[in-house]
Structure 1
Amino acid sequence: MRNAHSQPHPSLQEAARALREGRRGRADAILIPFLRQNPHDANALALIAESAMLAGAYLQSEGFARRALAANPGHQAARWTLARALVLQKRPEDAIAAVEPLIAGAPHAGPAMLKAGALDSLGDYEGALAIYRHQLDRRPDNPALWASYGHVLRTVRRIAEAIAAYRKAIELDADTGEPWWLLAALKALWDEDVPKMEAVLSRPLPADAASYVHFALGRVLDEAGRHEQAFDHYAAGNRLRLPPEFDPAAIEGKIEQIRTLLTPAFLAERPGRGDPAPDPIFIVGLPRSGSTLIEQILDSHSMVEGTSELPHLPALVRDLLEQRENRPGAAYPDLLAGLPADRFAALGKAYLDRARPHRKTAKPYFIDKLPHNWEHIGLIHLALPHARIIDVRRDAMDCCFANFRHCFGKGHPASYSLEAIGHYYRGYVDLTAHFDAVLPGRIYRLEHEALIADPERETRALLEALDLPFEEACLAPHENARAVRTASSEQVTRPINSDGIGAWRPYAAWLDPLRRTLGDLAQ
């Protein structure tokens, strides 16, 4: 964003140009010595804040941006960087406060969309919708606004309006990509859409946009029973998303690090050091394992509130990695070994503080169903020793193939190849088995197939494990009208069913790489 203040020093103009061109190293080589000589220069501080954010150092970015604003409270670029850094730290309330002064005079929709996204993450869906409607009145030809508007409409189950919003985004720019996939996820694409998507793919497209269209085509062809063609599109979409440097087997080394550190002796030396609050119920597992259904069942209970997938535990880990104040250079989880006793309680309290804005009721317990938190079971135990942990496990072939054919926007690169998702599933099974051994009874495991076969028996057993009284409403989760933000929002509106069981079998001929990686875990 532009600034209403003096022209920057020529060397700062060069640094800004280097950042725009993706040459962050060159920008830092200019900015660091400049700031040694001019530590209060707002323009230089704003630029290095942007550089830190691009490097993933969000805490540092926040610090530099705040220093820039202290030197020049009207520095719009610094404020914009601060707001984005706070969003990336998963601090939506702080981000809203930071971006608010930019919205009225902004020449583009960015600040308003940032606020709307933050409100969405906090569960203020009406507030987010109001912003999108206002922006669409001003910018009706903006396809990104229509798509974002559709996301919130889908969350609050205004499905017909969501479909119309996605269709409008496609009408304005069919090459955007994502709206095609979102329509496919809602089962709102038809045979006549297939040639339209094929025409889109015939044009030069960014990899991200093309990937969305491939996944959408795969889903339509899948439902039509054209499995070989569907698989080709799933595979093409995944190839476009898999980072070239991604190592499918790296998860195994990470699991070994956790097992090596979090031994019975290590855990026994740190009993009860975390925050004593019993409020959180963590639902862990792989994505597409049925965790949203479990959240829906528990949210139907009078004592439990579902808050969806909260990003705060990984954010706290990232903060630890960025700070590394106790052991410079240490990696996670090894840096846990050097934390002082009271730091675990502080981490637990920080998690609860960040989760609090997501809690909209007075219910005593809340759910965090971020699946990847299985990697952080040890930290949960240390920071929140009275939190409950539920491991939702789905058949390996079904679960891994469901990940492979789902287009995750970001954050789950293991889903982008059959070998990678197989390694990830094996790592998950190995690590949870480790915690079963070193923390017996700490994790409650619920088999997805068992729940589908006998919902009442498994629901009663789950509630008993959580020390909750049985309530009939938990047997009809599809009647729970709460907003659902995850990819399973459409499935949980239907009665419990077995539709997804065995979904991999029509694709068995192409799944040998997955079967080999899973080994004895595959059927």
Structure 2
Amino acid sequence: MTVDTARQSIDAALRNPQLIEAALALSEDRLHDAEPLLRGTLREDPTDVAAIRMMAELAARIGRLKDSEALLRRALELAPSFGAARANLATVLYKQNRFPEALEQLDAVLAVEGDNPAQQNLKAAALGRIGGYAEAIGLYRDLIERFPDHAKLWMSFGHMLKTVGEQDSSIAAYRRALKVEPTLGEVWWSLANLKTVQFSDEDMTAMQAALSNAGLSDEDKFHLHFALGKASEDRAFFEEAFAHYAAGNALRSAELQHEPDTVTAQVDHVVRTVTPEFLAARKGAGHRAADPIFIIGMPRAGSTLIEQILSSHSLIEGTMELPDIPAMAMREARELEGGKGKDVGAPWLAAVADMAPERLTALGAEYIERTQIQRKTAKPFFIDKLPNNWAYLGFIRLILPSAKIIDARRHPLDCCFSNFRQHFAKGQAFSYDLTHMGRYYSDYVRAMAHFDAVLPGYVHRVIHEELLEDPEGEIRRLLAFLDVPFEEDCLNFHANTRAVRTASSEQVRRPINRDGVDQWKPYEHHLDPLKTALGSTWITYPAL
């Protein structure tokens, strides 16, 4: 199809009543009405690129990102100049955490369209996900100069400034966003999430006023509740703080619908399947690269502190919480039997159980290749600190048997309540309910105990409170496990100016302190559901 023919096809769509009706249905989120209209059009003309693009949008809306991607690639095969389809493809790739590919498509769009603020904004976000902070900040500066009254642009700019440690500028950007849109809850939470901002009485009044706004979305509401919880806690108004935390968590939990039985079934499957015999039968498989250091465990357990310590070493590079292991594992699960495998237990485990050694080795090599974009130095080792990788530890062992594993563990009540006080940008659905949280922690501990039993010495555990008590001793033990020499810079980790993306970004830029210890105690009378779900874990800690 030539460029002119493609243009004609797109113009024809603007005169097609069926596609106009489908577009209206999409705009009103009536997906059940849009789908038959689009299917009818494509039955009549399977090469109608406008209809293909709209069907791809529908697929993306319902979370079928791979289907959406396939449709968009088909549209671009028919009409390479179809800029809207290419821009949509960039978004779909971004949502799949395929940031280098998204950037490639964005650069192609911008090469043709030049000045496209929406695509420049997405490019800045994608650059931030691969460590291209300087270029991303430059793009945001240009955009906010052109659109000074765009609150979410100021917020995104603030996020990027926070990541690179420009805290004062980050706060100023957030404040500018609130001047434009004082009810934007995510900005209030972003200020609270710095952990260093003390809200004024005027801030408290403004947040309460925003919360009472009749048209406020649930998203703004739960962000405001989390921010007001932090503000109340700073004033030692613990009952008010807990009321806000509980309200924010209830809204988020209802939205995410976490199923704790699913996690328990996954751990059960791993414990039954990953036996010494299972591992012995696969000895010698996997990629031998020793580059990766995985820091796993619960969120809010001190993993960012460990990463900051290790990334201060001359041989170890810190990256961020990388999405690659879960993405690869779940892809293999989906592809099992053409996607017809029963999704019970740990579905990736069924996928890898019958894999040839060569395939396991190829998967390890793929991980090394996928994460190369995150490595900005020539240091021989790098850190992947996605906490939830504990659930994929068997997968990691099979594809990267030489990788090092560090389990960051914190007192169950401090760790779990810290999660309850935290709103995460995405994921961590278990963290918005005290019972769900306790079950998740218990399942995580059970999984790690299993790996301690079947692979003694494979995992090095860092007890957060012991690290606070004896930093040099614990750091020396940690470095010995990694087989790298002790360096004084690891004790002075707070002087490290590297970018940090997690909620602990400002905390790890300070010397070791005990500020986070026993923060659950003022709320103890609210925590019975958590204690019950934890069982004896919180009493016997740090022993299993």
Give the TM bin, normalised by the shorter chain.
over 0.9
Q: What is the aligned counterpart of 1:99 among 96, 106, 110?
A: 106
| Secondary structure of residue in 2 paired with 1:508 | helix
The one-letter amino acid of 2:250's match is: R
| Secondary structure of residue in 2 paired with 1:366 | strand
CA deviations 1:25-63 (Å, max 9, x no partner) are 554444456545533331232123223322333233222
The one-letter amino acid of 1:82's match is: L
Shift of 1:105: 4.2
| Secondary structure of residue in 1 paired with 2:536 | helix
Distance 1:238 1:327, change over 3 A: closer
| Secondary structure of residue in 2 paired with 1:278 | coil
> In the alignment, what sits opposite 2:74?
67
Counterparts of 1:146-225 in structure 2, within 5 Å, are 146-186=154-194, 187-188=196-197, 189-204=199-214, 205-225=216-236
- Relative to the length of structure 2, the TM-score reads 0.91
Shift of 1:292: 0.5
> In the alignment, what sits opposite 1:363?
379
> In the alignment, what sits opposite 2:267?
255
> In the alignment, what sits opposite 1:112?
120
- Asked if 2 retains the 8 angstrom alpha-carbon contact of 1:326 and 1:338, the reply is no
**Structure 1: how far apart are the matches of 2:239 and 2:261?**
27
> In the alignment, what sits opposite 2:358?
342
Q: What is the percent sequence identity of the aligned residues?
A: 46
- Asked if 1 retains the 8 angstrom alpha-carbon contact of 2:334 and 2:341, the reply is no
- Consecutive unaligned residues in structure 1, runs of 5 or more: none
Distance 1:266 1:348, change over 3 A: same
- Consecutive unaligned residues in structure 2, runs of 5 or more: 1-6, 540-544
> In the alignment, what sits opposite 1:136?
144
- Asked if 2 retains the 8 angstrom alpha-carbon contact of 1:326 and 1:335, the reply is no
Range moving further from structure 2, 336-345 or 381-390: 336-345
> In the alignment, what sits opposite 1:487?
503
> In the alignment, what sits opposite 1:399?
415
The one-letter amino acid of 2:177's match is: A
| Secondary structure of residue in 2 paired with 1:282 | strand
Matched, 1:442 2:453: no
**Structure 1: how far apart are the matches of 2:298 and 2:43?**
47
> In the alignment, what sits opposite 2:484?
468
Range moving further from structure 2, 57-66 or 315-324: 315-324
CA deviations 1:386-424 (Å, max 9, x no partner) are 111100110000000000001112211111111111111
- Asked if 2 retains the 8 angstrom alpha-carbon contact of 1:59 and 1:319, the reply is no
Distance 1:155 1:42, change over 3 A: same
The one-letter amino acid of 1:318's match is: M
Q: What is the aligned counterpart of 2:60 among 33, 45, 53?
A: 53
**Structure 2: how far apart are the matches of 1:412 and 1:284?**
14
The one-letter amino acid of 1:395's match is: H
Matched, 1:424 2:440: yes
Distance 1:73 1:326, change over 3 A: closer
- Asked if 1 retains the 8 angstrom alpha-carbon contact of 2:329 and 2:395, the reply is no
Shift of 1:124: 1.1
- Asked if 1 retains the 8 angstrom alpha-carbon contact of 2:333 and 2:339, the reply is no
Distance 1:33 1:271, change over 3 A: farther
Aligned length: 521
**Structure 2: how far apart are the matches of 1:226 and 1:346?**
55
Distance 1:439 1:20, change over 3 A: farther
Distance 1:273 1:13, change over 3 A: farther
- Relative to the length of structure 1, the TM-score reads 0.95
**Structure 1: how far apart are the matches of 2:267 and 2:22?**
40
Shift of 1:253: 1.7
Shift of 1:74: 2.2
Q: What is the aligned counterpart of 1:280 among 278, 288, 292?
A: 292
Matched, 1:451 2:499: no
Q: What is the aligned counterpart of 1:227 among 225, 238, 252?
A: 238
Matched, 1:499 2:504: no
Shift of 1:259: 2.2
**Structure 2: how far apart are the matches of 1:185 and 1:246?**
23
> In the alignment, what sits opposite 1:328?
340
| Secondary structure of residue in 2 paired with 1:307 | strand
| Secondary structure of residue in 2 paired with 1:424 | helix
Range moving further from structure 2, 44-53 or 172-181: 44-53
- Asked if 1 retains the 8 angstrom alpha-carbon contact of 2:317 and 2:379, the reply is yes
**Structure 1: how far apart are the matches of 2:338 and 2:457?**
32
**Structure 2: how far apart are the matches of 1:287 and 1:148?**
23
| Secondary structure of residue in 2 paired with 1:421 | helix
Shift of 1:368: 0.3
- Asked if 2 retains the 8 angstrom alpha-carbon contact of 1:327 and 1:335, the reply is no
- Asked if 2 retains the 8 angstrom alpha-carbon contact of 1:59 and 1:322, the reply is no
Matched, 1:290 2:298: no
Distance 1:262 1:38, change over 3 A: farther
CA deviations 1:310-330 (Å, max 9, x no partner) are 111122123224433566334
- Asked if 1 retains the 8 angstrom alpha-carbon contact of 2:334 and 2:340, the reply is no
Distance 1:368 1:73, change over 3 A: same
Shift of 1:146: 0.2
Shift of 1:107: 8.7
**Structure 1: how far apart are the matches of 2:95 and 2:500?**
22
CA deviations 1:220-259 (Å, max 9, x no partner) are 1111111110010111111111135332343212211222
